[in-house]
Amino acid sequence: MEKQFNVLIIGAGNIGAFFDTPYSENILTHAHAFSKMECFNLLGFVDISKENGEEAAELWNVKYFSSIEEAFNKYKIDVVSVCVPDDYHYSVLKKISNFPLKLVFSEKPLAKSMKEAEEIIKTYKKKNIKCLINYSRRFVFEFEILKDKVASCEYGKFIFGSGYYGKGTLHNGSHLIDFLRYTIGEIKDFKPIDYNFDFYKDDPSVSTILCFKNGGNFVMQNIPCNNYTIFELELLFQNKRIRIVNSGFKIEEYNVLDSKIFNGYKNLSKEKEYKTELNMAMLNAVKNIYNNLTYNEKLKCTLDDGYKAMEVCEGLKADIKYE
């Protein structure tokens, strides 16, 4: 297939370049995903660190650019991946909007404040720049099936759920909030329980009770990331229990069965467990980009999705006192 779209990655860090290599089985970086698709031509990296940028460029056999301006002056660029730290999302997203491009693929969160997010959305809509936000579990086939089954009431009414995360409400908790919005529905209210500053000074990890418009609650519990990294949740429906473990790499399904011991009682019994394609989420996101640019397929995580996840996160942090 002819290479149709030129790609630039801004930010030569782990998610942009170093979580995997061209020979890795799992596709975990923007560089690997774009390199796997013959229709994309990965030009190279921009990074403020020349050392990091040149190392990434050598690993992926592409170029290093010292600035965004240098890259755009030398090449026609169609797609830009924004893989910089959270603090720089707004400034980079704003800056690249001044250059001719078709689509931006940005790491989450959209920005660090609602005001910044609103400005980016307004600017991108005005300039007709498409943007895909990388809430990765939206790009996993098994979670798409789960979402559809919940929407069709195959499992019955959602009753209750719980889950664990750490390393900041906005940085990592927004993954959980976005996933719940995606699968269960809109969050109408929340009741913060406690919080801690386990990684970022300006992004505490908040524990809270989330209440959904369609009914049912979810307890979102922070686990300080100095203990370990965890992203797990379980969802209880009238006719099914779903456990999502190992960061989303595995799903367990439980059915409701009559008790074999106590007459008249019902129990949950594990029906099956299976792996997900979370290790291919980045590639699936890039496929979504290609299908959008070529066939106008709907983007699976829009600027508005990113904004709504931020809105809940900012609400959770509203009454916290910072040192």
Give the mean pLDDT of the chain.
97
Task: Please give the average per-residue pLDDT across 195-216, as a whole number.
Answer: 96
Encoding tokens for residue 322?
């910072």
Model confidence at 210, in pLDDT bands (50, 70, 90)? very high
Q: Which long-range contacts (C-beta less than 8 Å, at least 24 apart) are formed by 211-216?
A: 211/187, 212/158, 212/180, 212/184, 212/185, 212/186, 212/187, 212/188, 213/185, 213/186, 213/187, 213/188, 214/158, 214/184, 214/185, 214/186, 215/157, 215/158, 216/157, 216/158, 216/159, 216/160, 216/161, 216/184
* CA neighbours closer than 13 Å in the CB half-sphere of residue 215: 8
**pLDDT at residue 187 greater than cutoff 70:** yes
Residue 160 is predicted with a pLDDT of 98
First and final C-alpha spacing in the chain:
55
Domain 5-135+281-301, what fold? Rossmann fold (3.40.50)
* Helix ranges, the chain (H): 30-36, 50-59, 68-74, 89-96, 114-127, 141-151, 174-183, 281-295, 303-316
Model confidence at 319, in pLDDT bands (50, 70, 90)? confident
pLDDT tens readout for residues 28-65 = 999 999 999 999 999 999 999 999 999 999 999 999 99
Residue 61 is predicted with a pLDDT of 98
For the chain, helix (H) and strand (E) counts, in that order, are 9, 14
Residue 92 is predicted with a pLDDT of 98
Which H or E element spans position 206?
Answer: strand 205-212
Which H or E element spans position 165?
Answer: strand 158-165
Report the interhelical angle of 141-151 vs 174-183 (nearest 10°).
Answer: 50
Tell me the C-alpha distance between 156 and 255, whole Å. 12
* Among 215, 220, 122, 181, residue whose Cα is nearest residue 300: 181
Tell me the C-alpha distance between 113 and 126, whole Å. 20
Residue 192 is predicted with a pLDDT of 96
Residue 314 is predicted with a pLDDT of 95
Could you tell me where in the chain the CATH 3.40.50.720 domains are found? 5-135+281-301
Longest dimension (CA), the chain: 75
CATH of 141-276, one of 1.10.287.80, 3.30.360.10, 3.40.50.720, 1.10.150.530: 3.30.360.10
Residue 18 is predicted with a pLDDT of 98
> Three-class SS of residue 88?
helix
Could you tell me where in the chain the CATH 3.30.360.10 domains are found? 141-276
**pLDDT at residue 323 greater than cutoff 70:** no
Contact, 234 vs 221, CB < 8 A? Answer: no
Residue 2 is predicted with a pLDDT of 63
**pLDDT at residue 268 greater than cutoff 80:** yes
Task: Please give the average per-residue pLDDT across 282-287, as a whole number.
Answer: 98
**pLDDT at residue 321 greater than cutoff 90:** no
